[in-house]
Amino acid sequence: MSSACSDSESENERVAESTKSSKQAKRSKRIALLKAYRKFAKVAGFKESGNTVLKSLVTPLAVRKAIMKRVLSLRHPTYSKEEYERRHRLSMNPPSCKKASVIGKRVEPIVREVMREAVRSTLTAGRSTVDPYTIFTSIARVAPNLSFSYALPLGLVRHAQKTVSSRGDVVMSASEADVLDAEKEAMDVTKIKILAKTLLVEENKKKETRKRRFSKEASSYVSPTLPPLPPLPPVESSF
């Protein structure tokens, strides 16, 4: 009788432990999912708190970085000569944080529209990851409202149209319009190289002028001299 009771008690303990471990596993899984959801929610623009309040996706620092970004290599086609000059001159005079904040608020609706369209297209196609092509097609919807070109890797496209694979065919086919555009882009690259040298000299002159002005102001600055402190009164001893 006692052995039967002990067996039933041990069985109950095992059932209780397994139930407890399963509950802990479910709780750990639920917490992990909440952390993952919170992480992706922050990326999507929600604040870290429990309230579903959207925060700004475009910060003033991101605006300044985007404006100051330049072409890394001038050997491959990127922009037209006119757009390169506008971009370079804009990077030479980046906006203040206040102006960058105003620009970010104007760009915010466009960024959210692109993000919403990219996510919708991805879910409609049955995928779980947004690829660069989906972003490119989503930006194409708002392209008429943009001043500059966007996300078009001309250098990679032209390289693929000239590269021959191991089977002997070209990686990407090119039409007659592509051939004419490639010739024009090659001429633009030559013009951009000449323009870049001129803009670089102009930028260096501005930097030297700014440096001389700051050094002149620093040399003319006189630190204020404080009057000497009055002497302390003598301390009378009580002994």
Walk along the chain (239 residues) in steps of 10 and give the mean pLDDT of each run: 56 69 77 66 57 70 82 70 81 83 86 86 85 83 77 70 78 80 80 82 83 77 72 66
Of 66, 85, 93, the closest CA to residue 193 belongs to: 85
Is there a contact between 75 and 189 (Cβ–Cβ < 8 Å)?
yes
pLDDT for residue 33? 66
The whole-angstrom distance between residue 54's C-alpha and the CA centroid of its chain comes to 18
pLDDT for residue 3? 52
pLDDT for residue 229? 74
pLDDT for residue 38? 63
Residue 208 Cα distances to 17, 88, 147, 213, angstroms: 75, 18, 31, 9
Is there a contact between 181 and 152 (Cβ–Cβ < 8 Å)?
no
Is there a contact between 193 and 74 (Cβ–Cβ < 8 Å)?
yes
The Cα 86–Cα 147 span in angstroms is 10
pLDDT for residue 34? 66
pLDDT for residue 72? 66
